[in-house]
Amino acid sequence: MIRLTLKLFLFLFFIIFSKISGQLYQVFQAVNIEKYQGKNFILEGKIFYNNDISNNSWMVLSALFLDGNRTGKGMIHSDGQIYYKKGEWSPYELKGKIIKNAKGIALGISVAGKGSYYLDDFKLFILEGKNKIEVPLKNGGFEDASLLPWQSYAKDEGSKMSISDAKPLSGKQSLFIDNSAAVVTPGFGNNKEIGKLMDVNGVKLYYEVYGQGEPLLLIHGNNSSMASFNNQLEVLSKKYQVIGLDSRGQGNSTSNDTKLTYELMAYDVNDFLDKMNLKNVNVLGWSDGGNIAVILGMEHPDKVKKMAIMGTVLYNNKTSVDPKINKILNQQVKEMKANGISENDMNYRLKMLLLTEPNIDPDELKKIQSPTLVMAGEHDVMPEKHTKLIADKIPNGKMLIFKGGDHEAPQNMPEKFNKAVLDFFEKI
């Protein structure tokens, strides 16, 4: 038996996944995997979308390991569209290694948005050499009319979960998740009470404004939204007028067929600031947002007072990006093509953006006039020497490496990250 109460499972499942992904509707069951500690696993499930997948509406597989100290480590597939097949049952996988001190694992799905979905053939496998050993799950095929042992958590009002015979993949039944009537609680990045759309450069950019004081613009990373800064908003908005902005084609912003480049998105930001009548703003950019911020600072130095950038690159080659990242991206693009995803699909275009951009000459960074904090994690996707190159080439640049951190430092170590950003912006 797993020596953790269901209540504790629910609490940790919500706390951990809310930190890495924002609040999501979770469906899971608890399994004892103590004898498989340290082994690789594969979680499989077939998902059918009744609605098209989007940045705001999707369902993926997820897992949470729990150890004897009542702490946990969560895993969630960050890109549901890789496996998505429109109008078909899509075969989803989540691969990883069971932590060495794991006592139990909560296996299931994470759901966002207002779509509806079917789940079937949910299975767990342990890899023993070349052998793939299935670990029995209770009602993994949903042939039992009872929902037990499946549990749900953080379900929005109006969300429904049921065993259905309307669309089975195998057997006679599948699990039906219906969020079409869900009443989603407003939050950062999805607060329609204060959120607005602005016509910018042929698209509509979505933005939200919080707090008072000097303006501080947040620019998020690839295939994300302003909500990725959810661990920064409360702290920053106490001292600044925080402006969250969704880049074109991401979050709640629209797009068009214009080729995606970081220069284009920096032009979007400049146009946005003009229409907001803002100059000399502070800017916090993370990942792609850092790339955009750098170009904004180069091309429109009058717009930037101070700039803090996290996980930024000037170009994509072996000296600037971990080759494993490009290998994964190329494989994902290959899988998307095999699944019939159009090259005009925004997710596809954003992956190609990562593979082909940016293309910034380091010597051009001398155009940046603002004091700039160049941050990265010790285990980030780019080597420290590339982060140092950026800091050294910016006339008033300073480097900060988060020890033990990675590319997700704003989410994974928010206290250290927030303090570093505030100290930098508040320094005279």
Q: Which residue ranges form the domains of the chain, and what is each CATH number?
A: 6-178 (2.60.120), 196-426 (3.40.50.1820)
pLDDT of 155 higher than 80: no
Across the chain, mean pLDDT equals 89
pLDDT of 2 higher than 70: no
Q: For Cα atoms 228, 154, 246, give the angle at the middle one, nearest 5 degrees.
A: 20
Contact between 102 and 135 under an 8 Å Cβ cutoff? The reply is: no
pLDDT for the residue numbered 69: 56
Question: What residues does 219 pair with on adjacent strands?
Answer: 245, 285
Contact between 269 and 246 under an 8 Å Cβ cutoff? The reply is: no
- Say if residue 285 is exposed, middle or buried (CB neighbours under 10 Å; 0-12, 13-18, 19+): buried
Higher pLDDT, 377 or 112: 377
pLDDT for the residue numbered 185: 76
Helix/strand/coil (H/E/C) assignment for every residue in the chain: CCCCCHHHHHHHHHHHHHHHHCCCEEEEEEEECHHHCCCEEEEEEEEEECCCCCCCCEEEEEEEEEECCCCEEEEECCCHHHCCCCCCEEEEEEEEECCCCEEEEEEEEEEECCCEEEEEEEEEEEEECCEEEEECCCCCCCCCCCCCCCEEECCCECCEEEEECCCCCCCCCEEEEECCCCECCCCCCCCCCCCEEEEECCEEEEEEEECCCEEEEEECCCCCCHHHHHHHHHHHHCCEEEEEECCCCCCCCCCCCCCCCHHHHHHHHHHHHHHCCCCCEEEEEECHHHHHHHHHHHHCHHHEEEEEEECCCCECCCCCCCHHHHHHHHHHHHHHHHCCCCCCCHHHHHHHHHHHCCECCHHHHHHCCCCEEEEEECCCCCCHHHHHHHHHHCCCEEEEEECCCCCCHHHHCHHHHHHHHHHHHHCC
Give the span between the Cα atoms of 389 and 403, in whole angstroms.
19
pLDDT of 9 higher than 80: no
Mean pLDDT of the 48-69 span:
82
Higher pLDDT, 81 or 198: 198
Mean pLDDT of the 351-378 span:
97
pLDDT for the residue numbered 68: 58
pLDDT of 354 higher than 70: yes
Mean pLDDT of the 155-168 span:
89
pLDDT of 318 higher than 60: yes
Mean pLDDT of the 369-395 span:
97
Instruction: Give the closest residue to 304 by CA, choosing from 394, 410, 401, 417.
Output: 394
* pTM to 2 decimal places: 0.79
pLDDT for the residue numbered 143: 96
Instruction: Give the closest residue to 400 by CA, choosing from 131, 2, 145, 409.
Output: 409
Buried b (16+ CB within 10 A) or exposed e, 133-152: eebebebbbbeeeebeebbb
Pairing state between β 281-286 and 214-219: parallel
Give the span between the Cα atoms of 61 and 123, in whole angstroms.
11
